[in-house]
Amino acid sequence: VWKGYCNPPLSCLMSLKVILRIGTKVIKIFDKARSWAVSFERLMKSAAGRSCFRQFLRTEFSEENMMFWLACEELKKETNKTVVEEKVRQIYEDFISILSPKEVSLDSRVREVINRNMLEPTSHTFDDAQQQIYTLMQRDSYPRYINSSAYTDLLKSLEEPPPDLWLQCVCSIASCCRLTGTARATWSME
């Protein structure tokens, strides 16, 4: 237990508040990351979850699945017909074409649907393909990610509080008191 005798100015207390807020955010981030193991949908709804999962996919040489899924999500937001057509063409070249180094694995039925949709591209041209890739990631890559050292190491790193968080708080107030000369600070550990 730390005992302190100090009447810190408001600026010192604000520093303490910032340090405590950082500690609270670390706890919230840990809880969010832990929730990714509950369902693939939770992981995919989280920007941080998608980013961590994408890094894992990169190690499995299947990052193109996430890249394709994200490109389809962006396409769905577009309303300008000319921009939609350009994005559809680009997504096709990047992920559907058999000549692409980032080609995603799709069955022949979905490829046929895409080829028909390409005649009149819309923001939903790749919906079937996106769903197939989502399902592939959910059934194949996601279980491996949740059981991987990448995910467990992430949780361990978030589980541990920032080094000496409370000591940082105490030291911040003590040094702030010394710097401002508002009061004498005496700290002892019992």
Report, as an integer, the average pLDDT of 158-178.
54
Beta-bridge mates of residue 189 = 2
pLDDT at 63 over 50: yes
What pLDDT, on a 0 to 100 scale, did the predictor assign at position 45? Answer: 96
CATH fold label, 49-158 = Regulator of G-protein Signalling 4; domain 2 (1.10.167)
pLDDT digits (tens, 9 = 90+) for 98-140: 999 999 999 999 999 999 999 999 999 999 999 999 999 999 9
Q: Is the pLDDT of residue 80 over 70?
A: yes
The pTM of the full predicted model, rounded to 2 decimals, is 0.72
Contact present, 133 and 69 (Cβ < 8 Å): yes
- Quote the mean pLDDT of the chain: 81
Model confidence at 69, in pLDDT bands (50, 70, 90)?
Answer: very high
**Higher pLDDT, residue 186 or 145:** 145
DSSP state for residue 166 in the 8-state scheme:
H
Mean pLDDT across the stretch 21-32?
Answer: 66
- Give pLDDT, residue 78: 96
**% of the chain at pLDDT higher than 70:** 69
For CATH 1.10.167.10, the residue range(s) in the chain are 49-158
Helices (H), the chain: 10-35, 40-45, 47-59, 63-77, 81-91, 108-117, 127-136, 142-146, 149-159, 165-180
